[in-house]
């Protein structure tokens, strides 16, 4: 033991002198008496009080020590704060429920400390991105700026999307159960896949998943009791009036393949809609070719795709420059040439626009058509620029919730792969595929695609999934964007309404994720529409009842017809830059 201690001392003696001081176990009082725990990092040489940055996290403060040290070495005080009920903080953790009030109290407490100059900022992504918006909506006087990355939005993209839950939520709730970090349990993919498969193959209600995985101590059941936006969720999101009152600079960061892009963009677009002109002018947006983690630490390889060196943006440095600009009267970061910065895949370069609306300057419409059906990749329909003139033309597929064939079992493929060819090729009769003609020239598609589908079915409810791919000249495929829609929410996510069997209904798919890519000359687009049937999703048994409580005994086979004729056109709209 003495030898080990001596070797340890010698090893540390060779390290350079540290320039950061640490305050461990700092207790921040909340208005209700609960104390949250903070670990505070300060520059060692600190002749005067400094601006303070903090992150509020359920993932245990120690996880972000490297970030805190970085900013402390660059002239800031940084506080890592555990949300209530997690890490060393007191209280009970209920996701999304307390962060608004707690964030306000943290801001104002930090502003009063002797090492603080009263200017407070926030850092973080995902849940910590949500925390920033939750805190901002309460308008604490000393909050100077926020930089939300990959910000989750409650009831927008998590824990459900368009009313559809996924089993990942119990995996995440187990990750954030109790006081500890639980990273090994969270990362045990074999365990989670087995449990998700068990629920799926036995056709058990989604509501029983917490029992199946052995963790009934979470808010899982409470969430399932609120399967659509309502007062419970509304309390967690800024109101139009709160957006209108925002008066600080904001930098929003997301990625083409960010799992929380929908939430991040929802905040951004709502602020653009409700915010004052001066506030909108100080809200900047960055959309990189990144996945969820890449919105904080970019990686050139994402899901089998490799992007250019320009994608490796130094986000720590960009944050520092942003904080210098907004809290130290420094110059604006040179990277932010205009209010919107986005990465164009293909040329592998950053481009700029004054707004999201000006990224594309035209719309190209492709109509869904077929002559011999559209059942798979080898017998597909077409995406045609000419409007259909046929009468009563349609394609059909069947979705059987009890179909447990090996192919259907893993529908959804590898959720981390963006170049997986197995999904669109093998739909087992449970979906439709349409191809465009080869592009005659390189074409930039930037923004949100929009699909209108005229559909009739013989059940009161089902789920739809749409996915768009670029089919490369060499036969490879690249996933571009996707959207999902539960039929009962086709008119409103707040007011479900059953479908009248046999009625032809227009479904608007407006939730596709944003992307920017130069489609290569000779490439084609592939559009896939199906009813998802996967271990990774809550299964809709098509009965029209409470989906979370449905089981195999409620199952109804859905016979689905997609119309594409003169009276009932179905079409795909593409936002094109410089196109015709």
Decide if pLDDT at 412 tops 60. Answer: no
Q: Distance (Å, rounded) from C-alpha 532 to C-alpha 547?
A: 14
Q: Distance (Å, rounded) from C-alpha 376 to C-alpha 54?
A: 51
What is the model's pLDDT at position 373? 78
Decide if pLDDT at 406 tops 80. Answer: no
Decide if pLDDT at 263 tops 80. Answer: yes
pLDDT (tens digit, 9 = 90+) per residue, 514-533? 999 999 999 999 999 999 99
Report which of 124, 63, 58 is spatially closest to residue 96, judged by C-alpha positions: 58
Topology of domain 16-157+231-358, per CATH?
A: Rossmann fold (3.40.50)
% pLDDT > 90, the chain: 89
Rounded to 10°, the helix 315-327/65-72 angle is 50
pLDDT (tens digit, 9 = 90+) per residue, 374-387? 877 778 899 999 99
Decide if pLDDT at 409 tops 60. Answer: no
pLDDT (tens digit, 9 = 90+) per residue, 537-563? 999 999 999 999 999 999 999 999 999
What is the model's pLDDT at position 426? 57
What is the model's pLDDT at position 428? 64
Decide if pLDDT at 489 tops 70. Answer: yes
Mean pLDDT, range 175-190, rounded to an integer:
96
Do 119 and 51 contact (CB within 8 A), yes or no?
A: yes
* Secondary structure, 3-state, 115-144: CEEEEEEECEECHHHHHHHHHHCCCCCCEE
Rounded to 10°, the helix 261-274/127-136 angle is 20
Output the six-digit token pair for 306: 């490799």
- Pick the more confident residue, 209 or 372: 209
Output the six-digit token pair for 571: 């079409």
Q: How far apart are the first and last CA of the chain?
A: 75
Decide if pLDDT at 12 tops 90. Answer: no
Do 401 and 411 contact (CB within 8 A), yes or no?
A: no
Decide if pLDDT at 420 tops 90. Answer: no
Mean pLDDT, range 498-527, rounded to an integer:
97
Average pLDDT, the chain: 93
Mean pLDDT, range 63-72, rounded to an integer:
96
Read off the pLDDT band of 9 (50, 70, 90): very low
- Burial class from Cβ neighbours inside 10 Å (0-12, 13-18, 19+) for residue 309 reads exposed
Residue spans per domain, the chain? 16-157+231-358, 164-224, 362-577
Identify any residues that bridge with 524 across adjacent strands, giving them in sequence order: 471
DSSP 372: S
Decide if pLDDT at 484 tops 80. Answer: yes
Q: Report whether the peptide linkage leading into residue 159 is cis, meaning its omega lies within 30 degrees of zero.
A: yes
Count Cα neighbours of 40 within 13 Å in the Cβ-side half-sphere.
21
Decide if pLDDT at 286 tops 80. Answer: yes
Mean pLDDT, range 168-191, rounded to an integer:
96
Decide if pLDDT at 181 tops 80. Answer: yes
Question: Helices marked H in 52-167 — which ranges?
Answer: 65-72, 99-111, 127-136
Cα-based torsion angle of the residue sequence 162, 163, 165, 170 in order, rounded to the nearest 10 degrees: 120
% pLDDT > 70, the chain: 93
What is the model's pLDDT at position 415? 54
DSSP 332: P
pLDDT (tens digit, 9 = 90+) per residue, 167-177? 999 999 999 99
Read off the pLDDT band of 408 (50, 70, 90): very low
| Sheet containing 349-353, strands listed edge to edge, beginning at the edge strand earlier in sequence | 124-125, 148-149, 250-257, 283-291, 340-344, 349-353
Mean pLDDT, range 73-102, rounded to an integer:
98
Decide if pLDDT at 359 tops 90. Answer: yes
Mean pLDDT, range 397-416, rounded to an integer:
69
Read off the pLDDT band of 14 (50, 70, 90): very low
Superfamily in which the 362-577 domain is placed by CATH:
Galactose-binding domain-like (2.60.120.260)
Q: Distance (Å, rounded) from C-alpha 545 to C-alpha 542?
A: 8
Cα distances (Å, whole numbers) of residue 420 to 35, 280, 415, 426, 478: 48, 39, 9, 12, 8
């Amino acid at each position: 033991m003495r030898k080990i201690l001596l070797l340890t001392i010698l090893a540390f003696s060779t390290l350079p002198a540290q320039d950061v001081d640490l305050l461990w176990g700092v207790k921040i009082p909340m208005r209700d008496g609960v104390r949250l725990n903070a670990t505070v990092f300060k520059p060692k040489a600190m002749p005067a009080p400094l601006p303070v940055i903090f992150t509020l996290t359920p993932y245990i403060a120690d996880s972000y020590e490297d970030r805190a040290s970085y900013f402390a070495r660059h002239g800031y005080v940084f506080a890592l704060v555990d949300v209530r009920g997690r890490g060393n903080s007191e209280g009970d953790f209920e996701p999304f429920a307390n962060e608004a009030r707690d964030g306000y109290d943290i801001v104002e407490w930090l502003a009063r400390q002797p090492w603080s100059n009263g200017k407070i900022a926030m850092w973080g992504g995902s849940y910590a991105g949500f925390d920033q918006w939750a805190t901002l909506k309460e308008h604490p006087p000393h909050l100077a700026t926020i930089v939300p990355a990959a910000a989750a939005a409650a009831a927008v993209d998590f824990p459900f999307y368009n009313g559809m839950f996924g089993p990942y939520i119990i995996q995440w709730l187990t990750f954030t159960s109790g006081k500890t970090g639980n990273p090994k349990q969270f990362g045990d993919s074999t365990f989670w896949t087995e449990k998700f498969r068990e629920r799926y193959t036995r056709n058990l209600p989604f509501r029983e998943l917490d029992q199946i995985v052995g963790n009934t101590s979470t808010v899982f059941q409470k969430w399932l009791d609120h399967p659509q936006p309502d007062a419970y969720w509304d309390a967690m999101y800024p109101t139009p009036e709160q957006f209108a009152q925002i008066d600080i600079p904001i930098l929003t960061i997301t990625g083409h393949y960010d799992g929380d892009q929908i939430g991040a963009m929802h905040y951004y677009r709502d602020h653009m809609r409700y915010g004052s002109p001066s506030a909108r002018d100080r809200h900047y947006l960055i959309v990189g070719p990144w996945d969820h983690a890449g919105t904080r630490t970019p990686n050139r390889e994402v899901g089998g795709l490799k992007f250019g060196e320009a994608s490796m943006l130094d986000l720590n440095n960009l944050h520092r420059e942003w904080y210098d600009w907004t809290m130290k009267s420094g110059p604006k970061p040179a990277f932010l040439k205009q209010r919107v910065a986005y990465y164009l895949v293909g040329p592998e370069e950053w481009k700029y626009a004054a707004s999201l609306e000006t990224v594309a300057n035209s719309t190209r419409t492709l109509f869904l058509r077929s002559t011999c059906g559209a059942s798979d990749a080898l017998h597909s329909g077409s995406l045609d620029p000419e409007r259909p003139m046929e009468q009563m033309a349609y394609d059909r597929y069947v979705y059987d919730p009890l179909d447990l064939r090996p192919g259907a079992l893993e529908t959804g493929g590898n959720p981390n792969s963006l170049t997986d060819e197995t999904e669109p090729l093998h739909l087992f009769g449970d979906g439709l595929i349409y191809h465009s003609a080869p592009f005659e020239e390189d074409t930039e598609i930037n923004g949100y695609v929009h699909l209108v589908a005229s559909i009739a079915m013989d059940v009161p409810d089902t789920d739809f999934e749409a996915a768009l791919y670029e089919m490369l000249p060499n036969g490879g495929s690249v996933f571009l964007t996707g959207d999902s829609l539960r039929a009962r929410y086709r008119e409103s996510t707040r007011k479900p309404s059953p479908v009248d069997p046999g009625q032809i209904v227009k479904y608007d798919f407006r939730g596709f994720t944003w992307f920017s890519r130069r489609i290569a000359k000779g490439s084609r687009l592939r559009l896939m529409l199906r009813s998802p049937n996967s271990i990774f999703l809550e299964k809709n048994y098509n009965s029209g009842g409470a989906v979370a409580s449905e089981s195999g005994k409620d199952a109804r086979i859905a016979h689905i017809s997609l119309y594409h004729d003169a009276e009932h056109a179905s079409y795909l709209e593409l936002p094109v830059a410089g196109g015709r």
